[in-house]
C-alpha cells in the first residue's frame, strides 16, 4: 500500500473510531512531523480545542508538554510512556502499549490506555507514518481499585479476631511468616493467659469479661505500638499470642515484666481473685529463638514450647513470667 493510501486509510479511521468513542491519532513524519491529527473523541478526552490538527510539542499527552500532566500524577509513568514512544520512533520497536494517569486542565484525574505503531518507515529507518488509539479506562481502574480494596478488607476480616481487633489464628500464622522474613535480632514468642478468668466471667458476667479482653487487647496494641516487627493475637478464650524481636533474653525479660506491670495497673479489677489487691493479672510463657532459627517455621511447635512455660508460670503462683532461650 502506498504512503498516500495509508494516509487516506488513517483519515477514514478517524471518523470510524470517533463513532465508537475511541481516541484515534496519526502523525505524518514526512510532511508534518511536528503535528498530530486526531478525531473529536480524543479532543474531548484531553480537553483539546476542536481543530483536528494539533502541535505535538504543545498538546501530545505522550511526547509533548501534555506529558507534564501525566507527571502531575505519576512521574515514573510519565517517563515510562515517553521512553516507549522514543523507542518506537528510534526503530527499537514498531509499537507500544501502556496505561497512564492524566490530570486534565480542569483538574480531573483520568486513566488512559494507549496503543500505537509505526505503519511505514523511511529508507533511513525513521518513521514515515504512525498511528494510535487511546481509550479512557478510568471507570475500569476505579472498579479494579474498589474490588482490590474489598478483597483486602475481606482478607483483613478473615485474619482478625472480631472481639479484640487483634490477629486471630489465621492472622497469627500470616504475621509470624512475615516476621520470619524480617531477620535480624532473636525472635521472642510468648503465650499470655489471664489468671482466673473463668472466675472473672462467673462473678462479673460475660459482657464484663468481653470488655476485659478488649481492654487487654488495647494494652497490648499500645505497648507494642512502637515495635514494627511484632505480633499480637488472640489465640482463643483468654489466651493471647505475642511475638517480637529483642537483643537478648535480658532485654526480652525486662520488656515482658513491664507488660505484666501494665496489666496489673490498667486492667479492670478482678471480682474473685486470689490477688490481695483485687487486681486482674496474667501469666506469660516465652521462648527466645536465634534469628532465622528453623523452629520458628512451625507455629504449632512455638505454641507447644511457649505453652509449656506458660503453665510453669501458672504452677508457680501465676502473675509471673517464665522464659527460656533456645540454642
- Whole-angstrom distance between the N-terminal and C-terminal Cα of the chain? 78
Residues contacting residue 288 through CB under 8 Å, at least 6 positions apart: 186, 187, 188, 246, 248, 249, 252, 323, 324, 325, 326
pTM here is: 0.64
What is the rounded distance in angstroms from the CA atom of residue 144 to the CA atom of residue 116?
A: 24
Compare 296 and 43 and report the one with higher pLDDT: 43
What is the rounded distance in angstroms from the CA atom of residue 200 to the CA atom of residue 9?
A: 83
123, 144, 238, 294: which is the annotated catalytic residue? 238
Ranges of beta strands (E only) in 246-310 are 282-289
The pLDDT assigned to 298 comes to 84
pLDDT tens-digit profile of 233-243? 999 999 999 99
* Cell 478510568, located at residue: 138
Confidence of residue 228 (pLDDT cuts 50, 70, 90): confident
The domains located in the chain, with CATH, are: 3-142 (3.30.450.20), 159-325 (3.30.70.270)
The pLDDT assigned to 180 comes to 75
Q: Which of 246, 235, 253 has the alpha carbon at shortest distance from 323? A: 253
The pLDDT assigned to 21 comes to 85
The average pLDDT across 271-299 equals 88
Q: Is 99 left (phi over 0), alpha (psi -120 to 50) or beta?
A: beta
Q: Mean pLDDT over all residues of the chain?
A: 89
The pLDDT assigned to 65 comes to 66
pLDDT at 292 over 80: no
How many helical (H) and strand (E) elements, i.e. helices and strands, does the chain have?
A: 11, 11
Confidence of residue 327 (pLDDT cuts 50, 70, 90): confident
Q: Is 204 left (phi over 0), alpha (psi -120 to 50) or beta?
A: alpha
Q: Is 238 a catalytic residue?
A: yes
The pLDDT assigned to 13 comes to 64
What is the rounded distance in angstroms from the CA atom of residue 264 to the CA atom of residue 269?
A: 9
Amino acid at each position: 500500500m502506498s504512503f498516500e493510501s495509508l494516509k487516506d486509510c488513517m483519515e477514514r479511521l478517524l471518523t470510524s473510531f470517533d463513532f465508537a468513542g475511541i481516541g484515534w491519532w496519526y502523525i505524518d513524519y514526512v510532511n508534518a512531523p511536528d503535528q498530530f491529527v486526531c478525531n473529536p473523541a480524543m479532543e474531548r478526552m484531553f480537553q483539546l480545542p476542536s481543530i483536528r490538527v494539533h502541535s505535538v510539542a504543545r498538546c501530545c499527552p505522550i511526547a509533548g508538554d501534555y506529558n507534564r500532566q501525566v507527571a502531575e500524577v505519576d512521574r515514573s509513568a510519565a517517563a515510562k510512556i515517553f521512553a516507549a514512544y522514543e523507542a518506537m520512533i528510534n526503530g527499537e520497536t514498531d509499537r507500544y502499549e501502556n496505561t497512564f494517569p492524566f490530570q486534565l486542565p480542569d483538574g480531573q484525574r483520568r486513566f488512559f490506555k494507549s496503543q500505537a505503531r509505526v505503519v511505514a518507515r523511511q529508507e533511513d529507518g525513521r518513521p514515515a507514518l504512525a498511528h494510535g488509539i487511546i481509550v479512557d479506562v478510568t471507570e475500569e481502574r476505579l472498579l479494579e481499585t474498589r474490588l482490590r480494596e474489598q478483597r483486602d478488607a475481606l482478607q483483613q476480616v478473615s485474619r482478625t479476631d472480631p472481639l479484640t481487633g487483634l490477629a486471630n489464628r489465621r492472622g497469627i500464622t500470616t504475621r509470624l511468616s512475615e516476621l520470619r522474613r524480617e531477620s535480624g535480632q532473636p525472635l521472642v514468642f510468648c503465650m499470655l493467659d489471664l489468671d482466673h478468668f473463668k472466675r472473672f466471667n462467673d462473678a462479673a458476667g460475660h459482657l464484663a469479661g468481653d470488655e476485659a479482653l478488649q481492654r487487654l487487647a488495647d494494652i497490648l496494641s499500645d505497648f507494642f505500638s512502637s515495635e514494627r516487627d511484632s505480633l499480637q493475637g488472640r489465640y482463643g478464650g483468654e489466651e493471647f499470642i505475642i511475638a517480637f524481636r529483642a537483643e537478648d533474653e535480658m532485654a526480652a525479660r525486662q520488656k515482658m515484666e513491664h507488660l505484666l506491670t501494665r496489666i496489673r495497673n490498667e486492667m479492670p479489677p478482678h471480682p474473685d481473685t486470689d490477688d490481695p489487691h483485687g487486681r486482674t493479672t496474667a501469666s506469660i510463657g516465652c521462648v527466645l529463638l536465634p534469628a532465622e532459627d528453623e523452629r520458628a517455621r512451625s507455629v504449632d511447635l512455638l505454641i507447644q514450647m511457649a505453652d509449656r512455660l506458660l503453665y510453669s508460670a501458672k504452677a508457680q503462683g501465676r502473675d509471673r513470667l517464665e522464659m527460656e532461650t533456645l540454642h
